[in-house]
Structures are given as structure tokens and as C-alpha cells.
A and B are shown apart, each in its own frame.
Chain A
Amino acid sequence: MRDLVTIKKWDAISKIYEWNTFGAERRWAKLKKRFYSQMGDGKILFLAVGTGNDFRHFPEGKDIIGIDISPKMLEKAAPRAHSYNGTIELHEMDSRELTFADETFNQVFTACTFCSVPEPVDGLRELKRVLKSGGELRMFEHTASRHFPFRQILNIMNPLAEKFGPSLNRDTVSNVEKAGFRIKQVSNIYLDIVKTIYAVKP
């Protein structure tokens, strides 16, 4: 069943998304380039594409399928996907209900996605289903902090942030483990909030 509440929320955010993320995208540009340089050969699933801001950081010549729950986001991402030197195929899809067959992909990449998926463990289980055995899950995510006062600040800000965008206090590393992945590496980029997570499907 289509999650109309989430679709409506991200359709609305698509209007100001470029402006809101202007600073963060420039700040993280080098790190994202390095993160996506880990894209290998074979089929890659990328979610959620948003307005396609990250496509410019992808290495050339990859075979990528990108999904997003918001049609308005995908509209903005389409021209960027078209100008990518490789293949990016876009689909409107909920990460909790992927229509791909089991064991389709060699790698899955996410960037600031599992702060927004309403039932994150369900979404991660779907990723595990569509990944081949030994396939890689590589995530660039913001999560809750374990440290004072950062944890408390994120908790204070969360109710407002959730109303207009992502959750700020998700324990995404634990969620990845709960979904059945084996964590290989977690690296902090900013405090212990913004991080990269590297996990594999056993």
C-alpha cells in the first residue's frame, strides 16, 4: 500500500530541498566522492535519490538503479540521471516494498535515507532480500549520538525535525544489525552523528 503521508511530505520538501541542503552538500562533497568511489562492478541499488544531488559524485560507467518514494523528487532527479556518464534508471518505489527479485544487486548505497524511512528495520530487511549473498550495504547516514549533550540536543530537536523532514535520533547501526547484516566498519564523519556504515549480507 502506498504511504501517502510520507509521499506528500517529501513531495513538499522537494520544493526547498536544493536550498536547504546547499551548504551540507558542499561541505560533504569530498567525503561523498570518496564514499561513492567504492561503487564496484555489477548491479547497484541507490536509495533514496532525492533530487539527484549525489549523481555528480558517482564514478563513471556504473549500472545503477535509483529509487525514491517521492514523484516530485524523481522529476527533479531525472535530468541529472540522464546526464550521468553511465546508466541510472529511476523508479518510484518505497524502500519497504521493493519490487525487485531476491538477490538482484551486488551493492546497495544509501545517503541520508534511513533517517526518513518510517519503519527502518523493515526497509533494511528489504535491502537484504534484494542483495546477493556477500553483497555490500554502504551507507552515509546521520544517526543518534551516544554522547552528552549531543544526544539530548538531537532528542530536543527531533519532534520538530520529524514533522518537516528526517528523524534525528535513529540508531541506524543497531537497525542494520537487527535486519540481519554483518557490520564490517563504522566511521564517524561528524561527532558520532554523521557516519558511514559498511555491512555485508552474510
Chain B
Amino acid sequence: MYFRIGEFLTSAVIGGLTGMAAFSIISPGWNMFLAMFIGMCMGMAFQLLVFLVFMPLFGAFEIMIPSMIAGMLSGMINGHIAAKYELPLGLGLAIGAGLGIMSCLYVYLQNQRLHGDA
């Protein structure tokens, strides 16, 4: 349970931070594709920083894979939203954290599918 909480927490933190960053940097009027790309890059950067903090506590690949998906997905989706609407940072945090949890759930289910003899 400790490790499962760690996986979801890391992805939620990275997704949330990326969402907030995207909402604070990207504003309505930006080119949508550029906004998504910048958001994705921010997600990757946050992932690297936060991953280094959480990795020693919760493990390597089990943290790295879902949190990278969380960062990239949150960056792209929140970047897209921020390029269209002016919204509060808290919403970016909530959307990002939600995407982080969804990313983690996706990887968890994929792991159930792939686990065992190859």
C-alpha cells in the first residue's frame, strides 16, 4: 500500500504542478500547438525534478513511467486549455492532479496485463 500511495502521489504532484505552471505561463491567444508543446516540455522538466525527490522513497521505474505520462499529458491538456481560456491556477492544479491519477491508473492496469511469463 505504501508503494501504491507513492506512485499515485508522485504522479498527482507532477500533474498538478505542471497544470499550474501551464495556466500561469500560457495565456489565451497562444497558438494551440505551441502551447501544448511548451506544456509538454514543462511536464517533462517537472517530472525530472520531482522524480529525483520521490525515487529513493518509492522505487525507480514504478515512479518514473506513470509520472512521465502524467507530466506530458497534464502539460499538453492544460496548455491547450490555457491557450483558449483564462482560468484560475487552482483549476490547473486540480485538472493536472486528476490526469496524474488517471495516468497512474492506466499504467497500473497495463502492468496487470503484462505481468507474468512473456
Contacts and interface: CB of A to CB of B under 8 A. Distances in A.
A153 B69 contact: yes
Contacts of B56: 19-23
B6 A190 contact: no
Given A21-B56, A156-B68, A190-B62, 20 more contacts: A20-B55, A20-B56, A22-B57, A23-B3, A23-B6, A23-B63, A24-B55, A27-B3, A27-B62, A142-B61, A147-B110, A149-B69, A160-B48, A186-B117, A187-B116, A188-B117, A190-B61, A191-B111, A192-B118, A193-B61
B115 to A, nearest CB: 6
In the complex, the 7 A-B pairs of residues with the closest C-beta atoms, listed nearest first: A186-B118, A23-B59, A27-B59, A24-B59, A23-B58, A153-B68, A22-B56
Given A22-B57, A149-B69, A160-B48, A190 B111 contact: yes
B114 A192 contact: yes
B107 A191 contact: yes
B45 to A, nearest CB: 12
Given A187-B118, A188-B116, A27 B65 contact: no
Interface residues of A, number: 28
A153 B110 CA distance: 15
B44 interface: yes
Interface residues on B, range: 20 to 34
Interface of B: 3, 6, 44, 48, 55-65, 68-69, 107, 110-111, 114-118
A191 B65 contact: yes
A149 B40 CA distance: 14
Contacts of B58: 23, 27
A187 B118 CA distance: 5
Interface string A51-94: 00000000000000000000000000000000000000000000
Nearest to B68: A153
B68 A195 contact: no
Contacts of B111: 190-191
Given A19-B56, A153-B65, A153-B68, A195 B110 contact: no
A23 B6 CA distance: 10
A153 B107 CA distance: 13
A188 B44 contact: no
